[in-house]
């Protein structure tokens, strides 16, 4: 109820320059945003980004931070965006070199601490990749072992496969790719691939996941059935991103609604209300 400064890292609202935009798939693109100011973030945290100049669209859009690095006095923030509506369409067509406002870092990220004796399981579905890839690269840098599961609708929608592979290889982990249509990797849902590995005896000390709600629901069921620790990054519609509108609430097991922008967007599955594993 009181002051949330995004943990230890100070939130800032900065004017950032669109330094680059590259297509990742027919629907997704990468944004590199630059500023001379310092910003830090942990995987799972997000930013609120302005899109468009007028009052329509009115609100900022929530986007997970896919990476952040500072070099030679410039902070580079990486976003990965899927065009799904008007706001993301405007972002896709924003001029490289023009500026946006980025309010970040917001919310709480994934728990990256290693778990004695096991490795972590990272699971991304579709445009759920950015926080998961960010986590993978941070874990790789700290030499914490993990397997990385990445699913998409089709082969063309698998994003940044080489970086995913490099991160997993760096810690001796597996990269498991799946597509709903079987056009690349294993055929079927990414949660099914995970389940097969679990059934085959693979153990994970903690699952970290982001993706569409049906995937997260499947994962929640799986984690609860097998008593696995799991953290999910949820996507609720957000107006403010900073805990004052109460638009983005998630129902917890105790019946409370909490602001996912502030207490989340990453939630441990055992805190979530039953509607998350219907």
Partner 1 sequence: MSIRLDTTVGALKLANPVLAASGTFGYGLDLLEFCPPESLGAIVTKGLSPRPRRGNPTPRIVETAAGMINAIGLQNVGVEAFCREALPELRARGAVVVVNVFGERMEEYLEVIGRCEGEDGLAGYELNVSCPNVTAGGMEFGHDPAPLERLTAMCRAATRRPLWVKLSPNAPDLVATARAALAGGADALTLINTMRAMAIDADARRPVLANGCGGLSGPAIKPIALRMVWEVHKALPGVPIVGIGGIETGRDVVEFLLAGASAVQIGTAIFRDPVAPLRIVAELESFCEEHEVAHVAELTGGLQWR
Note the residues at the interface with ligand FAD (CB under 6 A): 46, 57, 59, 61-64, 80-82, 84-88, 127, 130, 235-238, 265
Handedness of CA 260, 266, 270, 274 (dihedral sign): positive
Structure tokens at 38: 């310092």
Alpha helices in 206-249 (DSSP H): 213-225
Of these, 70, 245, 270, 277, which contacts partner 1 (CB under 8 A)?
Answer: 245
Sequence-separated (6 or more) residues with CB below 8 Å from residue 156? 25, 26, 183
| Residue 52 near a second copy by CB under 8 A | yes
SS3 132: helix
Q: Which stretch binds a second copy (CB under 8 A): 46-54, 172-180, 224-232, 246-254?
A: 46-54
**Interaction partner, residue 59 (a second copy, ligand FES, ligand FAD, none; CB < 5-8 Å by kind):** ligand FAD
Write the binding mask 76 to 115 for a second copy: x where contact by CB under 8 A, - elsewhere. Answer: ----------x--xx--x-x--x-----------------
Strand-pairing partners, residue 251, are 257
**Interaction partner, residue 93 (partner 1, ligand FAD, a second copy, none; CB < 5-8 Å by kind):** a second copy
In angstroms, give the least distance from the CB of 249 to ligand FES: 7
Structure tokens at 59: 């609100």
Q: What is the DSSP letter of 17?
A: E
Distance CA 120, CA 166 (A): 16
> Of the candidates 12, 8, 45, which has an alpha carbon nearest to the alpha carbon of residue 266?
45
In angstroms, give the least distance from the CB of 193 to partner 1: 30
**Interaction partner, residue 127 (ligand FAD, ligand FES, a second copy, none; CB < 5-8 Å by kind):** ligand FAD
């Amino acid at each position: 109820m009181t002051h949330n400064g995004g943990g230890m890292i100070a939130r800032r609202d900065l004017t950032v320059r669109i330094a680059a935009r590259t297509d990742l798939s027919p629907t997704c693109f990468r944004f590199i945003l630059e500023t001379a100011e310092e910003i830090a973030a942990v995987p799972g945290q997000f930013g609120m980004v302005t899109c468009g100049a007028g009052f329509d669209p009115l609100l900022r859009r929530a986007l997970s931070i896919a990476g952040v690095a500072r070099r030679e006095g410039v902070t580079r923030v990486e976003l990965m965006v899927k065009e799904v509506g008007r706001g993301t369409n405007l972002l896709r067509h924003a001029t490289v070199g023009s500026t946006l406002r980025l309010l970040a870092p917001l919310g709480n990220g994934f728990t990256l601490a290693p778990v004695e004796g096991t490795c972590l399981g990272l699971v991304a579905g579709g445009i759920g990749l950015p926080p998961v890839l960010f986590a993978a690269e941070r874990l790789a840098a700290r030499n914490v072992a993990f397997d990385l599961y990445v699913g998409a609708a089709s082969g063309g929608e698998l994003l940044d496969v080489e970086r995913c592979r490099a991160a997993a290889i760096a810690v001796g982990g597996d990269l498991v790719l799946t597509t709903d249509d079987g056009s690349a990797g294993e055929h079927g849902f990414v949660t099914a691939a995970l389940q097969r590995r679990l059934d085959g005896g693979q153990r994970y000390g903690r699952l970290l996941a982001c993706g569409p709600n049906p995937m997260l629901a499947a994962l929640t069921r799986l984690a609860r059935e097998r008593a696995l620790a799991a953290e999910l990054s949820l996507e609720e519609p957000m107006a403010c991103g900073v805990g004052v509108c109460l638009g983005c609430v998630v129902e917890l097991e105790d019946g409370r609604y909490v602001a996912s922008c502030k207490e989340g967007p990453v939630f441990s599955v055992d805190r979530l209300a039953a509607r998350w594993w219907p």
